[in-house]
């Protein structure tokens, strides 16, 4: 999932909220450090998806402040 900001603080914040996310750079074939996170959503239902989205929006908003 691409991000509008550096991924490291996003990963740290989301992990503190109980989500398992990884830096997108771990999965980059180019060796670069994309501003992205890796999220596996296969087991997400609608409620869990909405909660994740809210937590991500809150995280991004807090990092912009």
Predicted local distance difference test score (pLDDT) of residue 64: 87
Residue 32 confidence (pLDDT): 64
What's the predicted TM-score (pTM) here? 0.85
- Residue-wise pLDDT for 39-65, tens only, equals 988 899 999 999 999 999 999 999 987
3-state secondary structure 1-65: CECCCCHHHHHHHHHHCCCCCEEHHHHCCCCCCCCEEECCCCCCCHHHHHHHHHHHHHHHHHHHC
**Which pLDDT tens digit goes with each residue over 11-28?**
999 999 999 999 988 887
Instruction: Indicate whether 33 pLDDT > 70.
Output: no
């Amino acid at each position: 999932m691409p991000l509008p900001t550096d991924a490291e603080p996003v990963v740290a914040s989301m992990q503190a909220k109980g989500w398992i996310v990884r830096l997108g750079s771990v999965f980059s074939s180019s060796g670069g450090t994309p501003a992205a996170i890796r999220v596996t959503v296969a087991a997400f239902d609608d409620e869990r998806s909405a909660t994740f989205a809210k937590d991500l929006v809150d995280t991004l908003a807090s990092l912009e402040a």
